[in-house]
């Protein structure tokens, strides 16, 4: 059963005026760990998630995207303690493409197709881009949601690429899952270091331990 994966980070005595630098550092770290160097879109939410956005902008993929600092400066021009600032940025992972179904996201920005022996005849492993959401919370947004969710929260989306629980893990599949996991670990460490976070938590909506699920999952693979 797939779950949504998050990374929450906290900073000591963080004032809302310092949030821009932290967000810029987190977004800027993606390029070194399988992500895009530019931001796809941004949204500013007032008071709570139930309110309508007061700012929305889509720059686009690739060269059309905004540099992290520019995107943050534009979005945080309306700086308030009770706002949340959400940014979308591309991040590519190995995923199994089967049949003739088209991609659910724009075409891969980083080409990479794995033609491995042992792969299914009608399937291939490809580097697929997904939109990751990076959100910075003002201290008063949604009654202090930062206390549980972090001053900055990264929403990775489905944890399927890190587990592939619907696949039989042969050596090829296990290798690609492991590469995704290594990339996740590297990105997590990278954004923590770049932004100076003093606490972090990788967690899921269902509350299950990703580390334990990974250990059990990869231990079942037919490794060669």
Residue whose pair of structure tokens reads 């929450």 in the numeric block: 8
List of the chain residues with pLDDT < 70: 1, 98-123, 218-224
Rounded distance between C-alpha atoms, residue 96 and residue 126, angstroms: 6
Torsion, CA 56, CA 73, CA 63, CA 46, rounded to 10: -20
pLDDT value for 108:
42
Is 187 part of any domain?
A: yes
| Whether the Cβ atoms of residue 156 and residue 150 lie closer than 8 Å to each other | no
Is 64 part of any domain?
A: yes
**How would you write the chain as a 3-class SS string?**
CCCEEEEEEECCCCCHHHHHHHHHHHHHHHHHHCEEEEEEEEEEEECCCCCCCCEEEECCCHHHCECHHHHHHHHCCCCCCCEEEEEEEEEEEEEEEECCCCCCCCCCCCCCEECCCCCCCCEEEEEEEEEEEEEEECCCCCCCCHHHHCCEEEEEEECHHHCCCCCCCCHHHHHHHHHHHHHHHHHHHHHHHHHCCCEEEEEECCCCCHHHHHHHHHHCCCCC
Domain count, the chain: 1
pLDDT value for 221:
44
Tell me the CA end-to-end span of the chain in Å, nearest whole number. 26
Is 36 part of any domain?
A: yes
Q: What is the pTM of this model?
A: 0.85
Domain containing 39 equals 4-219
Is 224 part of any domain?
A: no
pLDDT value for 138:
97
pLDDT value for 69:
98
pLDDT tens digits, residue range 130-188? Answer: 999 999 999 999 999 999 999 999 999 999 999 888 888 888 988 999 999 999 999 99
């Amino acid at each position: 059963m797939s779950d949504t994966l998050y990374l929450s980070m906290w900073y000591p005595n963080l004032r809302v005026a310092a949030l821009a630098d932290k967000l810029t550092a987190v977004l800027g770290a993606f390029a070194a760990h399988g992500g895009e160097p530019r931001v796809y879109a941004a949204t500013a939410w007032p008071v709570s998630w139930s309110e309508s956005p007061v700012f929305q902008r889509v720059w686009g993929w690739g060269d059309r995207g905004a540099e992290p600092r520019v995107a943050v400066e534009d979005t945080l021009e309306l700086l308030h303690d009770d706002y949340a600032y959400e940014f979308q940025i591309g991040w590519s992972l190995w995923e199994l493409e089967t049949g003739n179904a088209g991609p659910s996201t724009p075409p891969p920005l980083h080409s990479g197709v794995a033609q491995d022996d042992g792969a299914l005849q009608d399937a291939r492993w490809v580097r697929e881009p997904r939109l990751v959401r990076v959100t910075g919370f003002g201290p008063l947004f949604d009654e202090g949601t930062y206390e549980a969710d972090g001053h900055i929260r990264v929403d990775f989306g489905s944890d399927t690429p890190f587990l592939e629980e619907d696949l039989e893990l042969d050596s090829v599949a296990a290798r690609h899952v492991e590469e995704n996991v290594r990339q996740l670990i590297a990105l997590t460490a990278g954004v923590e270091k770049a932004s100076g976070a003093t606490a972090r938590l990788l967690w899921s909506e269902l509350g299950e331990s990703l580390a334990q699920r990974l250990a059990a999952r990869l231990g079942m693979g037919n490794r060669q």
